[in-house]
Amino acid sequence: MSKKNFNKKNLYIKIVIIVGVVFLVLFILFVLLSPKLTINGDRELKLEYGNKYKEPGYEATFFGKDISNKVHVNGKVNNKKLGSYEIKYKVRKNMIVITKKRIVDVIDSKKPDIKLKGGENVDVCPDKEYSELGYDAIDNYDGNITKKVKIEKEENKVIYKVSDSSGNSCKVVRNYIKQDKTKPKITLKGSNKMTIIVNNSYKEPGYSAIDNCDKDITKNVKVYGKVNNNSVGTYKVTYEVSDKAGNKESVTREVKVEKSYPRVSGNMSCGSPGVIYLTFDDGPNPTTTPTILDTLKRHGVKATFFVVGRVASGNKNLLRREVNEGHAIGIHTWSHDYSIVYRSSDNFWNEINKTAKLIKDETGKDTKLIRFPGGASNTVSRHYNIGIMSRLSNEVISKGYNYYDWNISSGDASSNSLAVKTEINNVTKNLSKNRGNVVLMHDIKKSTMNAIDGIIQYGKDNGYSFDVLNHGISCKQGVAN
Ligand code: ZN
C-alpha cells in the first residue's frame, strides 16, 4: 500500500469519527433536552362494556420539573360500543415532541342470565309429562336472547344453555319431580259467614273444588254439618275433599240462625226509655184519620204517620194537616202491594222515591223514615224475591234512610171489628219503662180511632211521655221488657 493511499484511508476514518462524535453529541443533547413522558397503568387496558373509562393518569417532567399540564390527550372511549380505542398523549418542549399511546379495549365478558319461570325445582303431576313452563334469557350487551336458548332434556331435568355474541355462555338446570303436594282448592258460593232468620229455610248455596292435577273434583266434595233453621244458634258446615295424591282440603261455612229482628214485640228497644212512639200506618183515611188527629191534638201528643203514597195522593189535605200539627211523616211505599213492592229492589225504590216526592211537594218535608209493608222481617216478600228483605234493609241504611218496625202491636190489623177494650189492653199491657215503646197501629181502622184516647190516657196516668220517631232514633235488641 502507498503512503498516499494510507493517508487517504486515515482521512476517511477521521471523518467517520468526527461525524460519529457529532451525532453522539447531538443525541446526548436530544436526550438531555427532551421532556420525559410517563403514562400510568397498562399500555393496553380492558374496559367492561358499560363501565365508565377512568383515565389512569400520566406525568411529564423537564429537568425534574413537572410539566404534566402541558400534556395533550387525544382520543375517546365509547363504553357503549365494543371495540379498540386509542388514546394519544403528547408533550412538546424545545421543538421536541414526545408521544405515547394507550389502547383501551371495550369488551363484554359478562355472562347472559337465564331466568326460569316457575323456578328451578318444580313438581309435575304424577300422570302427566313435563311441559315447558317458560324462560327468559337476557344479556347485558345483546339484550333479550331468549330465542337463542337451546334446551336439552334428561331424566327429570331440563338444561337450558345460551351464549351471547361475545361468546359468554350460561347454563341453568331445572329439576322436576313427578309428585303432587298441592291441596285442591274449595270455593264456596255465597258467604262463608251467613245469617238466616229463624224458621226461614237454609238452602246450601253451593261450592266447587278444583285440583291442580285432577281439575274439577267438585263431585268428590263431602259436606258435613247440619243447620237447624228452627233453632237459634251458630252452625258449622264443613266441606272436605281429597285429590288422587291424597292431599286433603277442608273449609267451613258458619251459618248463624238469628231471632227475627226487629220483632213485633219482645226485648227490642227503640229510642228513649219510658217514651211511647205511637205509629199509624196505611193512611191517611178521610173517615178515621181526622178523628185521630183531633184526639192527638186534644192530648197534645205527637205521633208518626207512615203514609201509603197512593192513598195520600188522594188525601193531600190530611197529609198536610198531619205535618202542620207537628206529627212526623214516614214512607210506607206507594202501592203497599207486596207483589209489586217486593218484586225487585228497583220496584221498591221507585215506590219510595215517588212517595217521598209527594210528601216533599205537599208539605215541604224531606223524610228519611221508612216502614216496610209487613215489617222488615215479613215472610211474604220471599214469595216474590228470596232474600230481598235483607238486601232492602241494607240499602235503606246505606241510602241514608232508616226503617222502623215495632215492639208493641195494637193488633188492629187482625180484624175489622176488634173490641176497643182489647186494643187498649194489647198496647198497655206491653208498655215498659225500661225501653222506648214503638206501637204499631193503623189510622184506617175504626177500632184504633176509638182506642187511642184510652191508650194515651193510660200512658199519661202511668208516667209515660210521647214523642215522634226521627231518623236519629235507633233500635237494638237485648233490653228487658
Ligand atoms: Zn201497612
Q: What is the pLDDT of residue 478?
A: 42
How far, in Å, is the centroid of ligand 1 from the Cα of 258? 24
305: pLDDT strictly greater than 70: yes
Residue type present at position 385: N
Distance CA 390, CA 345 (A): 11
- Of the residues 82, 107, 132, the one at which a domain ends: 107
Give yes or no: residues 1 and 41 share one domain: no
Give yes or no: residues 359 and 434 share one domain: yes
Q: What is the pLDDT of residue 384?
A: 82
Distance CA 251, CA 195 (A): 18
User: Who wins on pLDDT, 398 or 46?
Assistant: 46
Distance CA 336, CA 287 (A): 20
Give yes or no: residues 251 and 350 share one domain: no
Distance CA 299, CA 296 (A): 5
Complete edge-to-edge strand list for the sheet that includes strand 36-39: 36-39, 58-62, 65-66
How far, in Å, is the centroid of ligand 1 from the Cα of 336? 7
Q: Is residue 481 part of a domain?
A: no
**What range does the domain containing 147 cover?**
113-178
Q: Which of 38-42, 125-129, 193-197, 293-297 has the lowest average pLDDT?
A: 193-197
157: pLDDT strictly greater than 70: yes
Q: Is residue 198 part of a domain?
A: yes
Q: Is residue 319 part of a domain?
A: yes
Give yes or no: residues 443 and 363 share one domain: yes
Q: Is residue 263 part of a domain?
A: no
Q: Is residue 401 part of a domain?
A: yes
How far, in Å, is the centroid of ligand 1 from the Cα of 309? 12
Task: Tell me which residue of 302, 252, 258 sits closest to 468, measured CA to CA.
Answer: 302
Q: Is residue 474 part of a domain?
A: no
Give yes or no: residues 247 and 101 share one domain: no
In this structure, what CATH number is given to the domain that contains residue 423?
3.20.20.370
Q: What is the pLDDT of residue 475?
A: 65
Q: What is the pLDDT of residue 395?
A: 81
- What's the mean pLDDT when you consider all of the chain? 90
Q: Is residue 284 part of a domain?
A: yes
Average confidence (pLDDT) over 5-9: 80
Percentage of residues in the chain having pLDDT higher than 90: 72
How far, in Å, is the centroid of ligand 1 from the Cα of 332? 7
How far, in Å, is the centroid of ligand 1 from the Cα of 374? 6
Give yes or no: residues 41 and 20 share one domain: no
Which string of DSSP letters, residue by residue, matches 320-356? HHHHHTT-EEEE--SS--HHHHTT-HHHHHHHHHHHH
How far, in Å, is the centroid of ligand 1 from the Cα of 441? 9
Give yes or no: residues 354 and 424 share one domain: yes
Which string of DSSP letters, residue by residue, matches 365-394? ----EE--TT-TT-SSGGGTSTTHHHHHHH
Give yes or no: residues 73 and 20 share one domain: no
How far, in Å, is the centroid of ligand 1 from the Cα of 310? 12
Q: Are 170 and 113 in contact (CB under 8 A)?
A: yes
How far, in Å, is the centroid of ligand 1 from the Cα of 369? 14
Residue type present at position 9: K
Domain tally, the chain: 5
Contacts of 476 (CB under 8 A, 6+ apart): 268, 269, 270
Q: What is the pLDDT of residue 450?
A: 97
Q: How many CB atoms lie within 10 A of CB 390?
A: 13
Interstrand relation of 65-66 and 58-62 (parallel, antiparallel or unpaired): antiparallel
Q: What is the pLDDT of residue 180?
A: 95
Q: What is the pLDDT of residue 379?
A: 77
Task: Tell me which residue of 186, 167, 309 sits closest to 251, measured CA to CA.
Answer: 186
270: pLDDT strictly greater than 90: no
How far, in Å, is the centroid of ligand 1 from the Cα of 226? 36
Give yes or no: residues 82 and 131 share one domain: no
Distance CA 358, CA 283 (A): 14
Give yes or no: residues 206 and 313 share one domain: no
- Of the residues 67, 82, 107, the one at which a domain ends: 107
Give yes or no: residues 128 and 244 share one domain: no
Q: What is the pLDDT of residue 261?
A: 44
In this structure, what CATH number is given to the domain that contains residue 142?
2.60.40.10
Q: Are 352 and 370 in contact (CB under 8 A)?
A: yes
How far, in Å, is the centroid of ligand 1 from the Cα of 140? 78
Average confidence (pLDDT) over 388-406: 82
How far, in Å, is the centroid of ligand 1 from the Cα of 282? 5
- The residue behind cell 336439552 is 152
- Cα-Cα-Cα-Cα dihedral sign, residues 145, 146, 150, 155: positive
Give yes or no: residues 128 and 102 share one domain: no
- Of the residues 159, 178, 197, the one at which a domain ends: 178
Q: What is the pLDDT of residue 385?
A: 82
Q: Are 271 and 470 in contact (CB under 8 A)?
A: no
Average confidence (pLDDT) over 245-267: 73
Average confidence (pLDDT) over 435-450: 94
How far, in Å, is the centroid of ligand 1 from the Cα of 279? 11
How far, in Å, is the centroid of ligand 1 from the Cα of 252? 40
481: pLDDT strictly greater than 80: no
Q: Is residue 85 part of a domain?
A: yes
How far, in Å, is the centroid of ligand 1 from the Cα of 373? 5
How far, in Å, is the centroid of ligand 1 from the Cα of 370? 11
Average confidence (pLDDT) over 237-252: 97
Q: What is the pLDDT of residue 2?
A: 59
Distance CA 85, CA 104 (A): 5
How far, in Å, is the centroid of ligand 1 from the Cα of 442? 8
* Chain segment 315-373, per-residue pLDDT in tens: 999 999 999 999 999 999 999 999 999 999 999 999 999 999 999 999 999 998 999 99
Q: How many CA atoms lie within 13 A of 322 on its CB side?
A: 31
How far, in Å, is the centroid of ligand 1 from the Cα of 375? 8
